[in-house]
Every structure is written in structure tokens, then in C-alpha cells.
Chains A and B, each alone.
Chain A
Amino acid sequence: MQTNHSIVHPFWVIVNKEISDIIKSWRFIIMLAIVLLTCTGSLYTAFTGFATAKPTNDPEESFFFLKLFTISDGTLPPFIVFISFLGPLLGISMGFDAINSEQNKGTLSRVLSQPIYRDYVLNAKFLASLIVLSILFFSLNLLVLGFGLVIIGIPPTAEEVLRILMFSVVSIVYVAFWLNLSILFSVRFRQATTSALAGISIWLFFSIFYNMIVNVIAKGISPRQMISEYQLVSLQKLIQNIMRLNPGQLFDDATTTLLVPSVRSLGPLTMEQMSGAIPSPLPLGQSMMLVWPQVTALFAGTLVFFGLAYLLFMRREIRSR
């Protein structure tokens, strides 16, 4: 990258160091091992499922390759479920001690007494994690693609490859969302354990309890008497929108649409709307239009948390220890 003789900009010096720190850290190696193991498992079940399935003219079956990510024979959840479950944990594990551990070790005041802007530290830590995540997800998905090619023997179409790359981008945005949340906690909480627990409890809340709570709400507000079709639709829409406050739901919506092209809508459709529709998969552009709000919301959440962390960090007085 850089030669020994040229001056490396201090920002990239920090990024370089952070990347090497992440890669050498035990927690990243452990998370990586978990992700690789579960993904191998789910891929294996997907491949065994493939033995019985063959490409046909059925539109549901035409995107053969994408099925690698979404199908399962029931023994293990499919690939995307693992990503949506483990992704947040990966993000939290990379960010929860970003700032507070440096502060507690006394290295933050030493680094900040060098001639660098304060935000370099925060930005470099975020960027370093993002670079590692991007490499991880792109290589993971391309590996799946490669294995699929070897084992199935049918090359993916260009659209399938594009959809898989889009899926990688959405995964990165999703994990970056959790990464920024945990960086925010690492700025806010002085103890790394507090910030890790705060991050994990929010993750648990959204991945386990949130759906239960929404179900209770749905039961409470659903009318007991017969209602019109439109009222039913609007009720369903309301509940769905409450569900979408959960970042995991946004991610699931987005990835399902990208990887299952036959998904035509993420909301309820009336029979009227369905009539006349040809049961064919959506083109990539239309699928992307469908998930644009979800991806934008995830992106916005990422930015909000980063902004908050930035604000807190810049106004903070840096004392040693």
C-alpha cells in the first residue's frame, strides 16, 4: 500500500492499526468461527435439499442459485436467518469497547495529545471495522457462490450475482447499524462491560421479545366484530409498521425481497390488487425499489447513532484514566 519512505496520513495510521487490532483480537476470531460454522451448516442442508430439486420453468424455481441462501431442509435455519441473527452480535462485539477501553487504559489521552483531530479516532475505528466487515461479507457470499458453482455445476446468471452483491451491501449496512450503536455505548458508558451488556440486551430485546410484544398489542387492538376488508388491511398495515421499528425486521424484509425475486410486496395485498398479476419474479430494479425504504431506514439509523456518538465524543473532556 504505502512505501516506507512516504508519509502516511495520521488518519490512515490509526485505521491500519485498528484493522490489525481487530483481526488479531480473540473475540473477532471467535465470532468469525461461529459465523463460518453456522453458515457451513446451513449451506450443507441447502445442498442436500438441492439433490431433490431441479430447475424447472416454474418462476419460483428459476432463481436457482439464490435458493442457497434461503432454503433449508428444516434441520438448520437457512443462511440469511443466521446472518440476521449473528450479524448484530458481530457488530456489537466489534464496537462495544472502542472508546472506553482506550480511555481506561490511558491510551486515549496519549493518542489525543498527538497532533491529530479528535474525530480521527472515532472515524478511524468505525472505518476500520467497516472495512473488515465488508471484506468478511463479500468474501463469505462469494465463497457461497463459488461452492454453489462447484457443487451444483450450473453457473449463476448475472442478475443472481447482482442480487447476491446487493445482499452483501444490505448485510454490511445492517451490521454497521449495530456497530454504531455499540460504539455509541462505548462513548457513553465508562465500563466496557456495561456497554457490552447494553448492546446485547437491546439485541436480545429486538430478536426475541419485540415480536411477542407486538403480538400482544395486535391482539389488544384487533376488533372482536366483523370488520370490512379495508379496515382489516389497514390494521394489518399498522401492525406491520410497528414490526418495522425492529431493525432485524427491516433487514429480513430487505433480504427476502432481494433473494426471493417472487416476493412482490412487503405489505398486505387485496385480491383486487392481485387480480391480473402474472405470477412472475420481479426484475432486480423493482425488487430494489421495494426494499429502498428498508435500506434507507437502516442507513438512517446507522447515521443517527454515529452522529450521537460523534457529538458525545467531541464534547467530552479527555482525562487520563
Chain B
Amino acid sequence: MAEPIIQLQNISKKYGDFTAVDDLSLTIEKGEIFGLLGPNGSGKSTTILMMLGLTEPSAGEVKVCGIDSTSHPIEVKRKVGYLAEDVGFYDDQTALENLVYSAMLNGIPKKEATQKAEDLIERVGLTGVKNKKTGKFSKGMRQRLGLADVLVKDPEVIILDEPTSGIDPKGVQDFLNLIIELRDEHGISILFSSHDLQHVQQVCDRIGIFLEGKLMAVGDIRSLSAKLLTSGRYLIELGADNSSEAGKKLTLGWFQKLASSMNEIDSVSEENGLFKVLSSQDISLVLSKKIMEEGYNLNFLNKKEFGIEAIYNHLMEGGTAYAN
């Protein structure tokens, strides 16, 4: 591809002793939808602010559309539309007036601005309320109006910070569809931050997972799971009746012996009387058969599958790399 649309090189942002963003490098290509995934306070918003030149990085270089955001924020803001988390409008003005104001701040003459604002309001499906004051708008309506507001300057890139938080599922779906349409029709590159994996998974071509100011992993969903799932994606929990009259006792040693003969098994452990087998493939059937064949009394079997979701949840809970 040509020049990347957003390029972050070793950027850091420190607030006193606290490091919000730590030596981050990231490249986003033209025309892609990129999802920044991470829990609250992981440095997503700070990274976005640095892209817009609304805050200065402590170190490193930010380039958007080939322009340095720190030294030339105005040029960058001409090309980048930014929808902040929980966007605000002037409550005592109508939706149309709010949009016309934004357009005129972008140097569009009033007549054109009004025409454009009307078109965009129709585009996001708010025509019925365009002359209502925005103070009465619901969160979902504000977010849609926010998207129209971002589009008023014909941006090359749109940066959306947590656009789906606090909207009902139907609203989220409409919003995500709108984003995909924008990319397909206008070739706009979109950066989309969220803490909700499902939303990101649905629309994004590539995802970057953020944690404590660091980018843990970047890639499309498939390569991301391959990269992160190095030590198994199935957890099989087994329990046996080990009371005296039932005969043979199932021990951890038996599983360890089994692990050495089966490549699929990554590790075994015992916890609260249950044996945990971590494997790269679904071997629950094989395992249960083997246990029965050897005369053990299997009385509990539970299989957990780890998708990218489990990994993400695990990361969010504070794990750094996925072990067991």
C-alpha cells in the first residue's frame, strides 16, 4: 500500500510519574477500519488526543496523513474528524444549527454549510428532529449527530473514541452499519476505540489490543488469536469418584503420563479435586473414553473453549500473557 494514514513512532505520554502511553508504535493503512481495544484507562484516549495534537507526546512522533500532529495540528484537524466519547452539543441550539456551526468553523460558507448539514442529518437518519434542540436528544441520537458532525468537513480519517458505549444494542448496530457504509462508499479510514470486543470484532479489519499504555498485539482477528493462543485454547476439567469402594484412584500422575504421549496436551494440573487439562484441540471425547476404558469412575467433565474473547477478558483482568 501507499503511505500509511496514521503512523505512531515510539510515542510515550507521561503524567508525572504515571505513564499513560508507553513507547507505542502503530501503523494504520488507508481505507481500513482499525479497532483499538482495551479497558478503560489503558491509554486509548490519550493516544487519540496525541493523534489530533490536543495533547503533546512526551516522546516520539505522530504522523497523520503524513503531517506531524504535534507541530501542525491545524492541518491534521482539517483532514481528521474526531468524535469524542460522549460528544456534547450546544443544548440550546437545534441539531442543524450545531452542524452548521461546525461546518463554518471549517471555513465553509453559510449557504453550503446548511445544505451539507441537511444532507448529513438525513444520512444519519435524524431528518425528523433536525429542528429540535439537541438538549432533548438521547445518547444514541447525539452519537449519530456526532458522526454527521465529523463528516461535515469531508475527512480522510475518522477517529471514534468509544462511540458505542452507553447505546442500546439496536443503536449500536445502526451505528456500526453506518461506519461500514462510510468506509465502503467514501474510502474513509476509520480508527475506532472501544472496550467492547464484540463491536470491534464486527466491523474492524484489524485490531490492536491496548493494556496499560502498551500495545499487546496487533492484527486481524485470526492472526491475533493464533498469536495469542500459544498455549492452548481448550480447558477440560475432569473429576472422578475416588472413594474407596469405587476401585482405582485417578491421580495427577496418570494425566502427566498421558500428556507425555499426547502432543495436544499442553499442561495438566489439579485444583479443588478437579483435574485441569489444557490442550490445543478438543480432546474431551478421547480423554473420557480413555478414562472409562482404564476403569476409572469419571463423574464430572467440563469443557471450556477460549476464543479471542476469553483472552481479552483474561488480559483485562490483569494477566500479561496467556498461560494457564
14 residue pairs of the A-B complex, CB under 8 angstroms, read A7-B108, A10-B107, A105-B90, A107-B88, A110-B89, A111-B102, A112-B54, A113-B52, A113-B80, A115-B74, A115-B77, A317-B54, A320-B85, A320-B86
CB distance from A243 to the nearest CB of B (A): 43
Interface set of B (CB-CB < 8 Å, partner A): 45, 49, 52, 54-55, 74-75, 77-78, 80-82, 84-92, 101-102, 104-111, 146, 149, 153, 161
Using Cβ atoms and an 8 Å threshold, which residues of chain A touch B149?
110
Using Cβ atoms and an 8 Å threshold, which residues of chain B touch A14?
105
Given contacts A113-B82, A115-B74, contact A106 B88 (CB under 8 A): yes
Q: Contact between A109 and B108 (Cβ–Cβ < 8 Å)? A: no
Q: Which residue of chain B has the shortest Cβ distance to A109 in the bound complex?
A: B84
Whether a CB of chain B sits under 8 angstroms from the CB of A224 is no
Report the separation of the CA atoms of residues A117 and B52 in the bound assembly, to the nearest whole angstrom.
Answer: 12
> Which of A8, A17, A112, A114 interacts with B110 by CB under 8 Å?
A8
Q: 6 new A-B pairs (CB below 8 Å) besides A111-B105, A317-B55, A320-B86?
A: A107-B89, A112-B54, A113-B77, A114-B153, A115-B78, A320-B161
Given contacts A5-B111, A113-B82, A320-B161, contact A106 B87 (CB under 8 A): yes
Q: Contact between B77 and A105 (Cβ–Cβ < 8 Å)? A: no
Given contacts A106-B87, A321-B86, contact A13 B52 (CB under 8 A): no
Closest A-B pairs by Cβ, 7 of them? A106-B88, A320-B84, A113-B82, A114-B105, A105-B88, A115-B78, A115-B77
> Which of B45, B75, B101 interacts with A319 by CB under 8 Å?
B45
Q: Contact between A7 and B91 (Cβ–Cβ < 8 Å)? A: no
Number of interface residues of A (CB under 8 A): 30
Q: Contact between A320 and B109 (Cβ–Cβ < 8 Å)? A: no
Using Cβ atoms and an 8 Å threshold, which residues of chain A touch B104?
8, 10, 13
Interface set of A (CB-CB < 8 Å, partner B): 4-10, 13-14, 17, 21, 24, 105-117, 317-321
Report the separation of the CA atoms of residues A6 and B88 in the bound assembly, to the nearest whole angstrom.
Answer: 28
CB distance from B213 to the nearest CB of A (A): 16
Using Cβ atoms and an 8 Å threshold, which residues of chain B touch A17?
101
Q: Contact between B161 and A114 (Cβ–Cβ < 8 Å)? A: no
CB distance from A73 to the nearest CB of B (A): 44
Given contacts A24-B92, A107-B90, A317-B54, contact A10 B105 (CB under 8 A): yes
Q: Which residue of chain A has the shortest Cβ distance to B100 in the bound complex?
A: A13
Report the separation of the CA atoms of residues A110 and B152 in the bound assembly, to the nearest whole angstrom.
Answer: 13
Q: Contact between A110 and B74 (Cβ–Cβ < 8 Å)? A: no
Q: Contact between A320 and B87 (Cβ–Cβ < 8 Å)? A: yes
CB distance from B19 to the nearest CB of A (A): 15
Q: Which residue of chain B has the shortest Cβ distance to A11 in the bound complex?
A: B105
Report the separation of the CA atoms of residues A4 and B52 in the bound assembly, to the nearest whole angstrom.
Answer: 30
Q: Which residue of chain B has the shortest Cβ distance to A8 in the bound complex?
A: B104
Using Cβ atoms and an 8 Å threshold, which residues of chain B touch A114?
77, 102, 105-106, 153
Using Cβ atoms and an 8 Å threshold, which residues of chain A touch B78?
115
> Which of B55, B84, B92, B106 interacts with A106 by CB under 8 Å?
B84
Q: Contact between A105 and B110 (Cβ–Cβ < 8 Å)? A: no
Given contacts A318-B54, A320-B84, contact A116 B74 (CB under 8 A): yes
CB distance from A67 to the nearest CB of B (A): 43
Report the separation of the CA atoms of residues A14 and B90 in the bound assembly, to the nearest whole angstrom.
Answer: 13
CB distance from B246 to the nearest CB of A (A): 62
Q: Contact between A105 and B91 (Cβ–Cβ < 8 Å)? A: yes
Report the separation of the CA atoms of residues A208 and B104 in the bound assembly, to the nearest whole angstrom.
Answer: 46
Using Cβ atoms and an 8 Å threshold, which residues of chain B touch A320?
84-88, 161
Given contacts A113-B54, A115-B77, contact A319 B49 (CB under 8 A): yes
Q: Contact between B54 and A13 (Cβ–Cβ < 8 Å)? A: no
Q: Contact between B86 and A106 (Cβ–Cβ < 8 Å)? A: yes
CB distance from A9 to the nearest CB of B (A): 8
Q: Which residue of chain B has the shortest Cβ distance to A9 in the bound complex?
A: B107
CB distance from B191 to the nearest CB of A (A): 13
Report the separation of the CA atoms of residues A221 and B109 in the bound assembly, to the nearest whole angstrom.
Answer: 66
Report the separation of the CA atoms of residues A318 and B92 in the bound assembly, to the nearest whole angstrom.
Answer: 23
CB distance from A269 to the nearest CB of B (A): 56
